[in-house]
Amino acid sequence: MYDNNNINPGSGQPYYGNPQNFDPRTGVPLGAVPAGNAPVNPAGSRKTGTFGKIMMAICLGLLFGLFAGLGFYTVNLVTRGQSASAPSYGEAAVQPQTSQGSTGLGTYMGLDPDIPTEFRVLTTEETDITEVVADVMPSMVSITEYYKLSTTFWGQTYTQDSEASGSGIIIGETDDEYIIVTNNHVISDADDMAVTFIDGSEATAYLKGIEPSMDIAVISVLKSDLDDSTISAINVAELGDSDGLVLGQNVIAIGNALGYGQSVTTGIVSALNREITTSDGNTGTYIQTDAAINPGNSGGALLNMAGQVIGINSNKMGGSAVEGMGYAIPITSVKEVIVDLMGRDTLIEVDEDNMGYIGIYMQEVTPEISAYYNIPQGIYVSEVAEGGGAEAAGLKKGDIITGFQGSAVTSNDSLKKLMKYYAVGDEVEVTFLRNEDGEYVEHTVDLILGEKPVRR
């Protein structure tokens, strides 16, 4: 409320405040608000100064942002121009990270400025081998070897049917058969063999030839034993050049690991020309790789990234004794042998009653005997049967047989396994060494197989 005696003489209106302190021009007391009138902001008041400062700060901020944006845009154009002309230091893909992934760090080269920094991630280039594997898998096979396992217990010999698994590579075909290369040790004990193809079908396999000193064997499957669907699923592998390999080169190993079926492992070339002597006394040079090569992988393919066969895997060295050290026979070193074996007649077992014999009694010259007596390894002729093929061909006691029908033979078993494919009356080629004046000289003769000799 106001005092009626407290009247503004200038306006005739009551006022609030000290009547001694009013503006004589308007009659409004200093600091007072006239009743019924809007508030008055005199020039130079605190409220008007604060608003001006705020507007000035906003304008300055807008100007700073404009100039900063122009500067960033200019630098970015220069940087992108330099990046486009700069040399490449490697391939990398910069991709936006999805909302489900974690934020990663970008690379200082080649970043897309349109992608927010928090979504830039660097991913290394991955080698995709799926197409290579898909192309070569139809040329890979699994091999099952059926044999008799003999054991001696308390002077008695017992035999039982057994089997083992390995791998092979289809390397050729004729009008009548598919030709497969594998390791000799995969099929060396076989009484019978079966091959399983990519579609799961199985067929009997037949021997074409072996080269034990190089651990190479060539077998075949008759097309007449295969369905049309299997034939359409099969491919022939391409042989590459192992001489051009370099350390660190990526390789792929495919084989029937542990007999479970075809599996794929990858690695690099760890070493070249590794000289290794196997348990049978043969020495050769091999490709060393860290791709896993397990039992059953023997005879399978070591491939380059073009899908070419550059080696034949072998688990004969190392085996489970070491890790990260697998070996393969360099394909270039055995190409000539493979071609020779491929060209031979396919061998079909003859009936046991009709099996031919050379006409000798023999003793195996093992590596130990060879070293002790300083004689060549092979099959020692301890006696020549009268009236047999060997006698007619001129073999003598003391001769050492080293080859049969072009295949090296170093043990009694290796010769017996080849003999089962030849009947009485067949002509065969036999290679032997004869001691002539203290030096062993090689001879080759053709002989006619006869009937099993009767020992006197």
Confidence of residue 407 (pLDDT cuts 50, 70, 90): confident
Instruction: Check whether 173 has a pLDDT greater than 50.
Output: yes
Cβ neighbours for 231, distance < 8 A, ≥ 6 positions apart: 223
Asked whether residue 239 carries a pLDDT value surpassing 80, the answer given is yes
For the annotated catalytic residues, the residue numbers are 185, 215, 298
Domains of the chain in start order, with CATH, are 1-37 (no CATH), 93-124 (no CATH), 133-342 (2.40.10.120), 352-448 (2.30.42.10)
**What confidence tens digit (pLDDT) does each residue in 71-126 have?**
655 555 544 444 444 443 333 333 433 334 333 333 333 445 554 544 444 444 44
CA dist 454 and 456 (Å) reads 6
- Cβ-count burial of 340 within 10 angstroms (0-12 exposed, 13-18 middle, 19+ buried)? middle
CB 400 within 8 A of CB 380: yes
DSSP state of 139: G
Instruction: Please count the residues of the chain.
Output: 456
Pairing of strands 378-384, 360-365: antiparallel
Which three-class secondary structure string do you get for 375-419?
CCCEEEEEEECCCCHHHHHCCCCCCEEEEECCEECCCHHHHHHHH
Q: What is the tens place of the pLDDT at every residue in 14-63?
A: 544 444 554 554 444 554 444 444 444 444 444 445 555 666 666 666 66
Binning pLDDT at 50, 70 and 90, where does residue 441 land?
very high
Distances 380 to 212, 356, 401 between C-alpha atoms, Å: 18, 19, 6
Beta strands in 127-233 (DSSP E): 140-153, 156-173, 177-182, 192-196, 202-204, 206-211, 216-222
pLDDT computed for residue 53 by the predictor? 62
- Secondary structure of residue 370 in the 3-state scheme: helix
In the chain, the amino acid numbered 256 is N
> What φ, ψ does residue 201 adopt, rounded to 5°?
-75, 150
Q: Which two tokens stand for residue 181?
A: 């290369």
Reduced to 3 states (helix: H, G, I; strand: E, B; else coil), residue 171 is: strand
Residue 16 token pair:
């609030």
DSSP codes of every residue in 254-279: EE-GGGS--EEEEEEEEEEEEEEE-T
pTM above 0.75, yes or no: no
The confidence band for 280, taking pLDDT boundaries of 50, 70 and 90, is: low
CA distances from residue 69 to 62, 65, 66, 335, 362 in whole angstroms, order as listed: 11, 6, 5, 68, 96
Q: Do 449 and 424 meet the contact criterion of CB atoms below 8 Å apart?
A: yes
Give the residue among 441, 366, 428 at the shortest CA–CA distance from 396: 441
